[in-house]
Copies of this chain bind each other. A is one copy, B any other.
Amino acid sequence: MSVHDLSIDEIMALTNPIDNTSPPDERLRGTLAFLFAQPSLRTMSSFAAAGTRIGLAPIQVTATGDALKDNTDFHDEIVQLSLTSTCVVVRASKALERDALSSCKAPVVNAGDGRNEHPTQTMNDIAVMRQIGLEGATVALIGNLRNQRTTHSLAIALQRLGIKLRLVSPTELRLPDQYVKGDVEIVHTEKRPEVDELVRDADFVYMPPLGYWGAADIDYSPAYGFDLARAQKVLKPTARLMHPFPRFAELDKSLDGSSFDAYRLQTMVGPVIRERILRMLLGW
Contacts and interface: CB of A to CB of B under 8 A. Distances in A.
Interface of A: 23-31, 33-42, 44-46, 48-49, 51-52, 55-73, 76-77, 80-81, 83-86, 103, 105, 211-212, 245-248, 256-257, 264, 267-268, 270-271
15 contacts: A31-B48, A33-B45, A33-B48, A36-B64, A40-B62, A41-B80, A41-B81, A48-B59, A51-B57, A57-B58, A60-B63, A72-B247, A80-B246, A83-B264, A83-B270
A60 B51 contact: no
Given A51-B57, A245-B80, A246-B72, A25 B36 contact: no
Nearest to A274: B84
Contacts of A67: 39-41, 246
Given A36-B63, A64-B36, A246-B73, A80 B28 contact: no
Contacts of A211: 71
A26 B55 CA distance: 9
A159 B40 CA distance: 41
B268 A83 contact: yes
Q: Is the interface of A mostly helix, strand, loop or mixed?
A: mixed
Contacts of A256: 103
B45 A31 contact: yes
Nearest to A247: B76
Contacts of A49: 30-31, 84-86
